[in-house]
Amino acid sequence: MTVKQPKLRNIQEKLLSDNWYILKKYTYELQRRDGSWQQQEREVYDRGNGAVILLYNKIKNSIILIRQFRMPMYVSGYPHFLIEAAAGLLEDASPEARIIAEAEEETGFKVDKLEKIFEAFMSPGSVTEKLHFYIAEYNDNNRSNAGGGLAEEGEDIEVLEWPFPKALEAIKTGEIVDGKTIMLIQHLALNSILKS
């Protein structure tokens, strides 16, 4: 694999906000493919890295999803609750430790064995966050609580157990619009882990 690295010079950064996470404005010069240098400005939002997990059951041919309110989507004109896979920021924990805790906190299922499938940057034009993607099998015996998230963090999460074909159809109809969740559902379908 050939990896090309960009050439930059005269990088300057300015802190715009550290109210919730960190927003900075960067001014820099980037060398273009023709060899010339071009000054550019970009705002970069740093909220840390995260992890996401999709729980699946081969016998039931089902997955566990969650539904909750997301303000950024509401502001951008999406008036519905978001259906997504359980996820969370690492907050100085390893991706594995964080997603095991997050899965139990949000879905109520205790995860025994994780499978990491890949890492991806979800919005590289403006956000630094890299997500670690996981899948794990669940069964009814893994249920340790009702899930729902932490009320003190503003979470009010509904846990959904859906047949896998319903989840695939929900991507087509626009009921599922979350990128990380679509990627995980498609991974299960492409690798024939569940039946379409």
Given this model, what pLDDT does residue 1 score?
A: 73
At 54, which amino acid appears? L
Q: Give the mean pLDDT of the chain.
A: 95
CB atoms within 10 A of CB 90: 19
User: What is the Cα–Cα distance from 96 to 132, expressed in whole angstroms?
Assistant: 9
Given this model, what pLDDT does residue 29 score?
A: 97
Given this model, what pLDDT does residue 87 score?
A: 97
* Contact in structure between 1 and 25 (CB atoms under 8 Å): no
CB atoms within 10 A of CB 175: 12
* Contact in structure between 91 and 136 (CB atoms under 8 Å): no
Given this model, what pLDDT does residue 153 score?
A: 82
Given this model, what pLDDT does residue 79 score?
A: 92
User: What is the Cα–Cα distance from 65 to 106, expressed in whole angstroms?
Assistant: 10
Given this model, what pLDDT does residue 150 score?
A: 84
The residue ranges of the chain whose pLDDT is under 50 are: none
Sheet strands (E) in 47-129: 50-57, 62-68, 82-84, 86-89, 115-121
Given this model, what pLDDT does residue 10 score?
A: 97
Tokens linked to 27: 């001014």
Given this model, what pLDDT does residue 59 score?
A: 97
Given this model, what pLDDT does residue 152 score?
A: 84
Given this model, what pLDDT does residue 149 score?
A: 86
At 27, which amino acid appears? T
